[in-house]
Structure 1
Amino acid sequence: MDLAVATLADRIGGLRTLPAETRAAVLRARVDAFIDANLGDPHLNPAAIAAHHHISLRSLHQLFHGEPETVAATIRRRRLERCRDDLVDPAMRHHGVGEISARWGFRHPADFSRAMRKMYGTPPTEIRAQALGSDDLRDPC
């Protein structure tokens, strides 16, 4: 409801008249959508998000205050989830693990492998092999 009200208020030029909580909820929704739309950009980070939304880095971090994750942790988790989705997708079988990690914004295969291992308890090649049922799918990052 807040988002609908804010959208309407923005269209008629009254966004500043909305309660601070509503404006924050709208900004948070915009930030979340921006993160999802730009996960593949290796330069996506809190500073880039703040700059795109014309807010300070401190304001961005305040927006995530009280949430279970920081901005950077949210980006990392969403990237890892997309990578995992691709790794277990039979249609993505012909794409290498390194290619998948780069597709979702990871610059270094070793960092990606460590992050996957930390989040899922197993390396990306094992996730792929288990999901697709074949040990011959191993592709070193």
Structure 2
Amino acid sequence: MDRVDRVLAERIPADRGMGAILAQYMRSLAAHGEECGPAELEQLGAIALDLADACLAGRPGAADELSEEDRARALAARIDTFIGHNLGDPELSPSVVAARHGMSLRRLQLLFRERGESVAATIRRRRLERCREDLADPGQLTVPVHTVALRWGFTNASVFSRLFRETYGASPSEFRRAAALRATTGV
């Protein structure tokens, strides 16, 4: 932990470079964050972590200060953030994630094996969670189901519907109707 403390103990100037970008972003987030929904806030938080990571990584010798375990944890956090930012991209795949992080597909798969869920399963699960949130949102009742699916990277409506039913026990339309009923009746 001393190594991490040393990395975090150095002041990051907020008047130039990455520090200025991070500071301006955080001010904007504080000023307008309450106007955003939960999914948007998660994405904005992930961006803040990316910016903070970039500030820390730019510190001379920062990588030397971290243990192998800390570096692996930081890499996993960057990968999770990247996946979260790109869920709507239908091209997002394990090979895209690996390439973006300068690692082999095998190394990425090994990293995720320790979690008990493959990269592809993680992407699919997180996409389905976002779809579920949108389908349960009363403010999005007029958005067609296929549009919600497309928004989160599903390009094939029948595949999306099948995965949604397998995961949540109801079709997307059935789930939406039940969520709308719960919202109006309070049950």
TM-score class normalised by the smaller sequence: 0.7 to 0.9
Tell me by how many angstroms 1:15 deviates.
0.9
3-state SS of 2:113 partner: coil
Deviations along 1:43-102, one digit per CA (max 9) or x if unpaired, are 001000001111110111111122121111110000000000000101111100000000
Give the stretch that moved more between structures: 86-95 or 5-14.
5-14
- Residue 41 of structure 2 is matched in structure 1 by none
Q: What is the aligned partner in structure 2 of residue 54 from structure 1?
A: 102
More helix by share: 2
* Aligned counterpart in structure 2 of residue 82 of structure 1, from 130, 140, 143: 130
Unaligned 5+ segments in structure 2 are 9-52, 183-187
Question: In the alignment, which residue of structure 1 is the partner of 2:162?
Answer: 114
Question: How well do the aligned residues superpose, as a CA RMSD in angstroms?
Answer: 2.1
Query: Residue 46 of structure 2 aligns with which residue?
Result: none
- Following superposition, which runs of at least 4 residues in structure 1 exceed 6 angstroms of deviation? 1-4
Look up the match of 2:143.
95
The aligned residue for residue 138 of structure 1 is: none
| Equivalent residues in 2 for 1:4-23, closer than 5 Å | 5=7, 7=53, 8=56, 10-16=58-64, 18-23=66-71
- Which of the pair has the greater relative contact order for Cα pairs under 8 Å at 6+ separation? 1
Larger mean CA deviation between 2-11 and 12-21 belongs to 2-11
Q: TM-score, normalised by structure 2?
A: 0.66
Distance change >3 Å, CA 70–CA 3, structure 1 → 2: farther
Residue of structure 2 in register with 1:133 after alignment:
181
| Alpha-carbon distance between aligned partners in 2 of 1:97 and 1:9, rounded to the nearest angstrom | 41
Q: For structure 1, list consecutive stretches of 5 or more residues without a partner in the other structure.
A: 135-141
- Structure 2 equivalent of residue 137 of structure 1: none
Counterpart Cα distance in 2 of 1:98 and 1:132: 17
- CA positional deviation for 1:3: 7.5
Report the residue type matching 2:75 in the other structure: L
What secondary structure sits across from 1:29 in the alignment?
Answer: helix
Distance 1:52 1:106, change over 3 A: same
| 8 Å Cα contact 1:3-1:25 kept in structure 2 | no
TM-score (norm 1): 0.86
- How many residues are treated as equivalent by the alignment? 134
Q: CA distance change for structure 1 residues 55 and 3 in 2, over 3 Å: closer, same or farther?
A: farther
2: CA distance, partners of 1:97 / 1:20: 44
Counterpart-to-counterpart distance in 2, 1:97 and 1:133: 17
Larger CA Rg, structure 1 vs 2? 2
